Structure 1
Amino acid sequence: MRPVFLAALLSSAALVTSALAQGALPAETKAKVDDLVKLQGMQSTNTAPAPEIPQTGRKADAIRKTLAKIKLPEGFKIDLYAIVPDARAIAVGPNAGVLFVGTRKTKVYTVTDRDKDRVADEVRAFAPGIDFKIPNGVCFSKDGVLTVVEQNRVLSFPAAEFFYENPDVAAGIVVKQGELIPASEESYNHTARVCRVGPDGKTYIALGQPYNVPAPEKMDLYRTHGIGGIVRMDADGKNREVYATGIRNSVGIDFAADKSLWFTDNQVDGMGDDKPPGELNHATKAGENFGFPWFGGGAVRTVEYKDQTPPAGVVAPVAELAPHAADLGLTFYNGRQFPQAYRGGIFIAEHGSWNRTEPVGARVMFAPVVDGKVGQPKPFAEGWLTGDGEYLGRPVDVAVLLDGSLLVSDDAAGAIYRISYENDAK
């Protein structure tokens, strides 16, 4: 476990225990965050275990029927791994391979495959006593600390993989409620945070700004807090800094083998079916600006900022994606199960368009990466969008399971799929 985080957790536990004993916590705090306070103080909440989510029956049968329609390259197959309501971001436990799945609602789920037959045996809500608010972002450190990023708070759970079955789990507050972004900027729009623990041990968090295109008077505030950008901080929340700016709403970030950060970004709406393009971006150092809101996607200027000069040194996307396909989660393929051509490349989940006259997306894309250079992204798994424009599913995130297979979350179907490769000629 990261020493800094452990020290902070123990200190927090001691302070909270003392406060509880002395009755020093405000009544409103006790009423709203009593269970979280108790968990910080290593005290039981007496919360009952969350009920299991059924994994068989009519819904599972219907999902498998849909998966029979998904097109994949030769040698690959797709199966239902788990039924997980509102499944969004996926974090694979580094030790036992337990999945933690975020949502845009009020729950984080755990997914367990006890017999390792590559199908979930048990799905339950994690830490049911905690009042989560849009806990979309989930990520692990190498030593097994789970970070959960909500709309406006960041929590950490040491050894979550080994103690998740108990409703009471050790918990720490990394960023207090209302301090990830100014409370005045909380919105119903672009609230799905994502996170990764970087090679430097810091936690990186993408903060989407809430507007289609923000007004100029918002820019200084957003630049200061990293809204419409990516921030990073120590494991205990200290030494926060803005790592990247000029980003509209990234819902997918990951680190390459060379320790550089890559991310998707969703482009401006309302500019027509075929513009601007979606973006795959590559950050090579702190302080880079990726062009929004002067650019709505790629080299396409926004109407609102077309007469303003963009900042010097704006970083262009390394690859353009289909306009309005809603590119969300991405992951580098670091497994060994897939053929060599896929290793080190990027898988991207396209959620699918919502305001395009001809729908596009609802698929998993793949982009090869060789010596830091990315090739043109191409469809890898598709078929969730029918020729009649009906969505049979909407992929959100992708993650590599410990056996090298690829997981895909789908918040429309409420499921996680597993794509595997079984051709002997790899």
Structure 2
Amino acid sequence: MRKSRLCAATALALSFSIPALAADDALDKLGGFRTTGTSLDIPQVEQGGKKAENLKAIAQKIRVPDGFKVELYAIVPDARHMAVGTNVGVVFVGTRKTKAYAVTDRDGDHVADEVKEFAPSLKKNVPNGMCFTKDGFLYVIEHNRALLFPAAEFFYESPDVAVAVIAEQLVPKEDESFNHGARTCAIGPDNKLYITLGQPFNVPAKEKLKGFAEAGIGGIIRMDRDGKNREVFARGIRNSVGLDFNPANGELWFTDNQVDGMGDDIPPGELNRAPKPGMNFGFPWYGGGKIRTVEYKDDEPPADVTFPEVEYAAHAADLGMRFYAAEQFPEKWRGGIFAAEHGSWNRTKPVGGRIMFTSVKADGSADKTEVFAEGWLDPKTGRYLGRPVDVAIALDGSMLVSDDLSGAIWRISYGE
């Protein structure tokens, strides 16, 4: 019965595929449930040896509150955003390159036994964004298209994985850029797919604004799960690389990276709250918080600008975020937001390389923000031992933290 339902769901999902992309031979074959001829022997990423020992030593340097501990969960090259499977908890990991990974803890000891490329027969281009639906459909958001894997945890053992393209040309070809091109995604309480579309400039020229606004570049778009009914949900966002919905009330929150080159201490990074569609969050008139940009300082900003719920340290590069809706952590941390700070790259004194926590009030607004985990940045040398990208909650309630500098996923647990 389960297999019958799975096949029916997969067939329905594959009907979303776009015929114009049939020229991609592998994609065409996968859409028709045919083999590509790719070797069934998928190379695995070595999980032991000297590299593992070095990473375990880094884990010992990470400072967390009493009762918590940090351990190496997996070695995953270029690890970026993560999605935890709803069935057996396989962790799917994106990168800003051409590969995605499937991470499996087969023996249940909270350490990955196997890390291998996910869907290696399919060509990928910056498969950074990863998100699951409650019924087990995996979305992978590349630089300029959205892919649906309707049974990722069922097929991932093979190099050939059932896939459908539900959206191509997330941004127009002329606006494709190597800068700010890592997309992220989430499934909303409305059962729609939400995607962040960072704009490619530090501050865009005025002639770009109209086209960007229409396409949702420098904003967040949403669409039906089959890619239909695309619309712009939020605007005035420079480069969001993390979003999640508050399970208590269904409101969308997201991080935003702010303007470079304005000084060490301005503008602040942002954590924003979007309880409804159509909101404007102020960019490019504001570079972060209420700090006006040089380029738009003489222009009247929109009257309906919404300022951030939380202002983070300037240039800390706030990326992936997640509400904690599990029970392993003590009550203080439940219902709050954990956010990864990737760390600054152009600040006189580096800042970031840590996990922040923001508690949420009963009315849904932000309360206090504090450092939860730090130590990936050595304050004496200014050297990063790791650069956190994303946070995800494992099925057992522990927290996973991806790190694209060290090529690792860290596990933070409580009371074990």
After TM superposition, the score normalised by the length of structure 1 is 0.93
RMSD in angstroms over aligned alpha carbons? 1.8
Question: Residue 196 of structure 1 corresponds to which residue in structure 2?
Answer: 186
**Structure 1 segment 145-156 matched on structure 2, within 5 A:** 145-156=137-148
Give the 3-state SS of the residue equivalent to 1:408 in structure 2.
strand
Give the 3-state SS of the residue equivalent to 1:365 in structure 2.
strand
Please tell me whether the aligned partners of residues 12 and 172 of structure 1 are also in contact (alpha carbons under 8 angstroms).
yes
Gap runs ≥5 in structure 2? none
CA distance in 2, matches of 1:347, 1:297: 20
**Structure 1 segment 346-365 matched on structure 2, within 5 A:** 346-365=337-356
**Structure 1 segment 6-405 matched on structure 2, within 5 A:** 8-11=12-15, 30=23, 33-48=24-39, 49-176=41-168, 179-257=169-247, 258-371=249-362, 372-386=364-378, 387-405=380-398
CA distance in 2, matches of 1:284, 1:416: 31
Please tell me whether the aligned partners of residues 8 and 236 of structure 1 are also in contact (alpha carbons under 8 angstroms).
no
Please tell me whether the aligned partners of residues 13 and 150 of structure 2 are also in contact (alpha carbons under 8 angstroms).
no
CA distance in 2, matches of 1:233, 1:407: 28
- Share of identical aligned residues, percent? 61
- Rate the CA distance shift 1:192–1:10 in 2: closer, same or farther, 3 A: closer
CA distance in 2, matches of 1:238, 1:43: 26
The Cα shift of 1:244 comes to 0.1
Which letter maps to 1:317?
A: P
- Rate the CA distance shift 1:211–1:3 in 2: closer, same or farther, 3 A: farther
Gap runs ≥5 in structure 1? 17-24
Please tell me whether the aligned partners of residues 107 and 132 of structure 1 are also in contact (alpha carbons under 8 angstroms).
yes
Which string of whole-angstrom CA distances, capped at 9 and with x for unpartnered residues, describes residues 337-369 of structure 1? 000000000000000000000000000111111
CA distance in 2, matches of 1:4, 1:291: 44
The Cα shift of 1:10 comes to 4.6
Give the 3-state SS of the residue equivalent to 2:264 in structure 1.
coil
Give the 3-state SS of the residue equivalent to 2:147 in structure 1.
strand
- Rate the CA distance shift 1:280–1:82 in 2: closer, same or farther, 3 A: same
Question: Residue 19 of structure 1 corresponds to which residue in structure 2?
Answer: none
Which letter maps to 1:155?
A: L
Which string of whole-angstrom CA distances, capped at 9 and with x for unpartnered residues, describes residues 375-423 of structure 1? 2321111011112100100000001101010000000000000000017
- Rate the CA distance shift 1:158–1:246 in 2: closer, same or farther, 3 A: same
Please tell me whether the aligned partners of residues 266 and 324 of structure 1 are also in contact (alpha carbons under 8 angstroms).
yes
CA distance in 2, matches of 1:214, 1:195: 23
- Rate the CA distance shift 1:130–1:3 in 2: closer, same or farther, 3 A: closer
Which letter maps to 1:193?
A: R
Please tell me whether the aligned partners of residues 46 and 75 of structure 2 are also in contact (alpha carbons under 8 angstroms).
yes
CA distance in 1, matches of 2:325, 2:256: 22
Which letter maps to 2:351?
A: V
CA distance in 2, matches of 1:379, 1:139: 26
The Cα shift of 1:373 comes to 2.2
Q: How many residues in Structure 1 have an aligned counterpart in Structure 2?
A: 408
CA distance in 2, matches of 1:189, 1:2: 38
- Rate the CA distance shift 1:4–1:350 in 2: closer, same or farther, 3 A: farther
Give the 3-state SS of the residue equivalent to 1:199 in structure 2.
coil
CA distance in 2, matches of 1:388, 1:103: 28
Please tell me whether the aligned partners of residues 5 and 236 of structure 1 are also in contact (alpha carbons under 8 angstroms).
no
The Cα shift of 1:6 comes to 5.2
Give the 3-state SS of the residue equivalent to 2:26 in structure 1.
helix
Please tell me whether the aligned partners of residues 4 and 236 of structure 1 are also in contact (alpha carbons under 8 angstroms).
no
Which letter maps to 1:169?
A: V
- Rate the CA distance shift 1:362–1:282 in 2: closer, same or farther, 3 A: same
The Cα shift of 1:374 comes to 1.2
Give the 3-state SS of the residue equivalent to 2:54 in structure 1.
helix
CA distance in 2, matches of 1:134, 1:7: 26
- Rate the CA distance shift 1:166–1:186 in 2: closer, same or farther, 3 A: same
After TM superposition, the score normalised by the length of structure 2 is 0.95
Which string of whole-angstrom CA distances, capped at 9 and with x for unpartnered residues, describes residues 163-219 of structure 1? 10011111101112xx11001001010011000011111000000000000000000
Of 406, 412, 415, the match for 1:419:
412
